[in-house]
Amino acid sequence: MERQWRRPGRRTLTKKMASWQKYDTWKRGAAHTAVGNVQIREKVWSPHLKNNRNLVVYLPPSYRQESERRYPVLYMQDGQNLFDQSTSYSDEWRVDETMQGLSREEIEVIVVGVANTGQRLAEYSPFTDDHHGAGRGELYLAFLADTVKPLIDRDFRTLPGREHTGIMGSSMGGLISLYAFFRCPHLFSFAGVMSPSLWYAGGAIFPFIEQAAYVPGKIYLDVGTRELGGSPQKREARRRSRRYYASVRRLKRMLVKKGYRPLHELLMVEEQWAGHHEPAWARRLPDALRFLLQDLA
């Protein structure tokens, strides 16, 4: 049965959780690469998925306890890879360093990193895949909508409306972020979709997007031309990479046809020779955030 999404303000937190900690305190003196005002909340329980995970929140430099200023919010997937090299399973996105720099351009947002639980293929897909089984993406989005967002809106000075709320991810995280933008139009008005795994479940995302209603807002879309490798000696990898970025070009055409104007509501970036990894996404992140956030201040 398709989930009927409730409107913001009617959700409740279902389980008491530990309090927020400063990231330095949580690391207990261990080395890390997080910078700025970063806080963490451990083992946030999902009644939908029956598991728990950490939330890591970056607060802008101007965020002060004595202030009443409120901020837009960006929810990002794979939270353990965003801020700290010591918690990432490959490299980090350097989201905190990027936001520190963008703050000097008066671009500020609260970033919520939602850690994955090692079940990315299931939780980041709303579709059933012949090889990987049923997706749990609907339950994951219910967790974001019913548990994570109410918690963040309660504990931090957010601008909670959809016009100031976005979602972002890469690979499978890009797939679920794209899906969430169209599936939850009452929650999100902008989406960052980096190197999305559009191939998953036989490309089921394409008929979904084609049938979805136009959602007012912004979409950032990108891809590298060597997502799946492709040195001169690896012809098959080059062929697979071409298919990968061809699928992203196909998505762009669908979005333009739906009404998203290039450079206004839609920005697509192709990075020559870029692979499928965190350093590539970190490189493209500043311009992606400029596009998505520049009109929210």
Pick the closest to residue 223 from 260, 196, 200, 243 (CA basis). Answer: 196
Task: Read off the pLDDT of residues 154-206 as tens digits, 9 standing for 90 and up.
Answer: 999 999 999 999 999 999 999 999 999 999 999 999 999 999 999 999 999 99
pLDDT at 282 over 60: yes
pLDDT at 11 over 90: no
Q: Provide φ and ψ at 121, rounded to 5°.
A: -60, -35
Spatial distance between the Cα atoms of 246 and 223, rounded to a whole number of angstroms: 9
pTM of the model: 0.94
Architecture of the domain defined by 21-293: 3-Layer(aba) Sandwich (3.40)
Task: Read off the pLDDT of residues 206-261 as tens digits, 9 standing for 90 and up.
Answer: 999 999 999 999 999 999 999 998 776 688 999 999 999 999 999 999 999 999 99
Res 8: pLDDT:
43
